[in-house]
Amino acid sequence: MRYIERIIAAALIAMSSYALNAKDIMTLKDCMKYAIEHSTDMKVQGMDMADARIAQRDAVLKAFTPSLSAGTYAYSNFGRSVDPETNTYVSTTSFNNGYSVSGSLVIFNGFEAVNNVKIAKTAVKMGISEEQQLKDNICLAVMEAYYNVVFYRHMAQTMEEQVRTSKNAVAYVKRQEELGQKGYADVIEMEAELADREYDLISYSNMITDSMLTLKELMTWPMEEELNIDTEVDEQAYIRITPENEVEGILEQAERSLPSIAIARGRMQNAAVELKTAKWQFSPYITLNAGWSTSYYTYPGQHGYVPTPFWNQFRNNGGEYIQLSLSFPIYDRLSRFSNLSRKKNAYTRASAEYDRKVRQVHAEVTRAVEDRDGAAAAFRQADKRAEVQNEAYRMNQKKFEQGLLSPLEYQRAADNWMKARSSRINSLLTYYIKRSVVDYYNGISYIEQ
């Protein structure tokens, strides 16, 4: 018995340790913020967003700015070569040095550059939606784990009360046995019930530990550090009544603000732009090229040769050019036709996926509202049941103390009261989660609720 008492004492300490330092207690919103800030997935998504912004910048520069390049060369010729000045062959050692700057600008390439800018811009918006969707998923998972910890702690507190009640009942029955009012069988029966309550208390303590580990994992909280959370529950739950046409309004808001729909819409828009680009690939390309170059030469091995100074040659040998080219695609092994067919298939696929996502969200919204309303009805009934069972338990407790009720009947009343309390807190927390899901579809992110 002492061993079991030590285990129970440790369980009670574990349940109450979160209240040792009130300033470190974290609310549900605090846990969500911490999980988002320390999430590895969020860091990876941040790098993806950075890549998307870089791609957008590159697309803009490629569409509206020319490409520039500069070069130089230097070489010595030890054999027969052409004299740049006389354009005749010479057979003496020569040194040649040249410089050039060139640039090109695509004037028209079937709107590919402009469409790439649109695609990159949409990709950035999709990245923002993906980031928000990831935040929402993290918050929902943290919320469920958080409420699991709250539920098990409340259940452990209820079981702690049951253990104290059972201990008092055992002491009371033993006293009645000494007075000859109860038999030894009654004492054994009450001690067996006490052992069951102590076992349930230890089980709930283990559940608290397991659910807390899950919460820490979702938050990326150090496993070796203690996590103190606020387990107070607003018992005066505001049960929302479903107004007329609520589902239709939520559906409209979900189509406007839900990240998953925004992502599917962005993919469909990009597929449409890529299809337009593929169609324009059959048009001619117009490119503008321009450049400047100069050179310097000398014959270091020729006796009596006096070279023209470098800067004079640099200036006199300079030349510029400008070129406007027009190219027509004639035959490229049907690659443009194949690309067009693939883009048509991609657009059809993206459109179908978008329609499927919209229908899926419609079903989810309808189900979420029904689940919320069902959870509200369940909580109302559980609240009434808990109130009735509490009153019944108090009356049976008085009867038991007066000797008008058997130990078995008394424990049955205590069990009914405990189950009613368990159902009430469980239905209340379930309603909170279902209500948050509906609000999320209605355009309010979990962390803003």
350 contacts: CB under 8 Å, gap ≥ 6: 264, 267, 268, 270, 271, 272
Per-residue pLDDT, 242: 65
Share of the chain above pLDDT 70, in %: 93
Per-residue pLDDT, 18: 40
Q: What are phi and psi of 2, to 5 degrees?
A: -65, -35
Per-residue pLDDT, 302: 76
In a domain, 192, yes or no: no
- For residue 176, pLDDT over 90 is answered with no
In a domain, 349, yes or no: yes
259: domain range? 233-284+332-449
Per-residue pLDDT, 184: 84
In a domain, 243, yes or no: yes
In a domain, 342, yes or no: yes
- For residue 16, pLDDT over 50 is answered with no
**Three-class DSSP labels, the chain:** CHHHHHHHHHHHHHHHHHHCCHHHCECHHHHHHHHHHHCHHHHHHHHHHHHHHHHHHHHHHHHHCCEEEEEEEEEEECCCEECCCCCCEECCCEEEEEEEEEEEEEEECCCHHHHHHHHHHHHHHHHHHHHHHHHHHHHHHHHHHHHHHHHHHHHHHHHHHHHHHHHHHHHHHHHHHHCCCCCHHHHHHHHHHHHHHHHHHHHHHHHHHHHHHHHHHHHCCCCCCCCCECCCCCCCCCCCCCCCCHHHHHHHHHHHHCHHHHHHHHHHHHHHHHHHHHHHCCCCEEEEEEEEEEEEEECCCCCCCCCCCHHHHHHHCCEEEEEEEEECCCCCCCHHHHHHHHHHHHHHHHHHHHHHHHHHHHHHHHHHHHHHHHHHHHHHHHHHHHHHHHHHHHHHHHHHHCCCCCHHHHHHHHHHHHHHHHHHHHHHHHHHHHHHHHHHHCCCCHHHC
Q: What is the pLDDT of residues 104-162, one digit of tens each?
A: 999 999 899 999 999 999 999 999 999 999 999 999 999 999 999 999 999 999 899 88
The pLDDT of 407-419, averaged and rounded, is: 84
Selection from 350, 362, 364 nearest residue 264 by Cα: 350
The pLDDT of 341-369, averaged and rounded, is: 96
The pLDDT of 305-318, averaged and rounded, is: 90
- Supply the mean pLDDT for the chain: 89
In a domain, 404, yes or no: yes
Per-residue pLDDT, 90: 83
Per-residue pLDDT, 283: 92
Q: What is the pLDDT of residues 68-107, one digit of tens each?
A: 999 999 999 888 888 887 888 888 888 999 999 999 999 9
Burial of 194 (0-12, 13-18, 19+ CB in 10 A): buried
In a domain, 338, yes or no: yes
Burial of 5 (0-12, 13-18, 19+ CB in 10 A): exposed
- For residue 22, pLDDT over 80 is answered with no
In a domain, 438, yes or no: yes
- For residue 63, pLDDT over 60 is answered with yes
Cα–Cα dist 233/150, whole Å: 8
Q: How many domains does the chain have?
A: 1
Q: What is the pLDDT of residues 267-303, one digit of tens each?
A: 999 999 999 999 999 999 999 999 999 999 998 877 7
CATH number at residue 362: 1.20.1600.10
Per-residue pLDDT, 211: 96
Share of the chain above pLDDT 90, in %: 66
- For residue 238, pLDDT over 70 is answered with no
Q: What is the pLDDT of residues 134-144, one digit of tens each?
A: 999 999 999 99
Per-residue pLDDT, 165: 82
In a domain, 60, yes or no: no
